[in-house]
Amino acid sequence: MITVLCANAGVDKTYEVANFAVGGYYHPSAASTTAGGKGINVARVLRALGQPHLLTGFAGGNNGRFIARDLIDDGIRADFVSIAEESRVTINIIDRTQRTQTRVDEVGPLVTPTELQRLRDAWRKHLQRSTLAVIAGSAPRGVTLEIYAGLVEVAASANVPVIVDAHDELLARAVAARPTVISPNLAELQRLVGRQLSVPDGVLRAGTDLLDEGISVVLVTLGARGAICLTRSKGVWWGKPPSIERVSSVGSGDAFVAGFAAASLLRRSIAERLRLAVACGAANAETFGAGNVAAARVQELAAQVTLERIGGDGDEPGGDEQ
């Protein structure tokens, strides 16, 4: 099972408005309300791929109840820590004519120290039955910037490999706790190392430094250019997606992480993990919304992903790199 943390879950309202412009007045042609958040997107893709998962995080108030119900309806296994404040709402305005997506994101609830401790306890409990863990996205107000670092340490002591997809200070502090895998996009990696990076040479240098700091796998996502995967003992790979018709790549990084996690659970080789990750990211980019991928389409895209070994002196790809 894969335990997935979504510390900043919320309610995503999506309105479809053709030719949306600032200052206008609109009736949406379609409207939907779903549970949202990066970890939730990861769990949705794991579910689509048929992989066992357990999602945890914070949920509060009426919005929290909605989140729990929506996840059940979508067949996602979740165990959220109940909080006193209301979970946040995010409004997405999708314009299919101009192919734009506009977002209004509430700041989110303030979490108390007791609630944070409950989340740590839930994390520890679920890891006992997990072979892999994923930490994705931002954290709500009230929690310390060390939150992910602490959860990474819990995973290490439970001997469960952990993938971290976060940014800025949360990522920097998590890196210091040496997660098994990190998955920044290029901009996030540049902020982490504090300099601009060329592709691929600058990315390879920065990624190698992170391997030297004790991370086993560094995944750097590059949007339509695919992703570079650096490992300590299985070489360095560049996975490139086929050219697709991009609709919205919001959540492609989350889908990418889910694909990598799913293939890791199946103990595929590092190159095949990258292949499934790139295919999931591309499948997500073909649709509006985040985490809405179909397993059959993922498989079609996976067959078209190209994998190029670009450096490193590791062994041939094996199935046991965690």
Ligand X SMILES: Nc1ncnc2c1ncn2[C@@H]1O[C@H](COP(=O)(O)OP(=O)(O)OP(=O)(O)O)[C@@H](O)[C@H]1O
Stretch 166-225 residues interacting with ligand X (CB under 6 A): 185, 221-224
Binders of ligand X among residues 277 to 296 (CB under 6 A) are 278, 281-282, 285
Chain centroid to Cα 110, Å, comes to 22
CB nearer to ligand X: give 87 or 252.
252
* 227 touching ligand X, by CB under 6 A: yes
Eight-state DSSP code of residue 243: P
| Nearer Cβ to ligand X (154/224) | 224
By rule CB under 6 A, what count of residues binds ligand X? 21
- Least distance in angstroms from the C-beta of 17 to ligand X: 21
Nearer to ligand X, 118 or 167 (CB): 167
Asked if 251 is part of the footprint of ligand X (rule: CB under 6 A), the reply reads yes
Please give the single-letter amino acid code of residue 291: G
CB of 69 to Mg ion, least distance (A): 27
Nearest alpha-carbon partner for 39 in 67, 6, 71: 6
Instruction: Indicate which of Mg ion, ligand X, none lies near residue 226 (CB less than 5 to 8 Å, by partner kind).
Output: ligand X
Among 91, 93, 110, 244, binds ligand X (CB under 6 A): 244
Q: DSSP secondary structure string, 65-114?
A: HHHHHHHHHTT--B-PEEESSPPEEEEEEEETTTTEEEEEE---PBPPHH
Sign for the pseudo-dihedral over CA of 123, 161, 237, 187: positive
Q: Examine residue 247 and tell whether it contacts ligand X (CB under 6 A).
A: no
Q: Is the Cβ–Cβ distance between 171 and 164 less than 8 Å? A: yes
235 binds ligand X (CB under 6 A): no
* CA distances in angstroms from 78 to 5, 56, 70, 115, listed in the order given: 10, 6, 10, 17
| Nearer residue to ligand X within complex by CB, 63 or 101 | 101
By CB under 6 A, residue 39 contacts ligand X: no
Binding site for Mg ion (CB under 5 A): 253
Point out the residue whose Cβ comes nearest to Mg ion.
253
- Examine residue 2 and tell whether it contacts ligand X (CB under 6 A): no
Tokens describing residue 47: 């579910």
Residues in Cβ contact with 141 at an 8 Å cutoff, skipping those fewer than 6 apart: 107, 108, 109, 110, 111
The whole-angstrom separation of Cα 209 and Cα 104 is 36
Give residues in contact with ligand X (CB under 6 A): 185, 221-224, 226-227, 241, 244, 246, 249-254, 256, 278, 281-282, 285
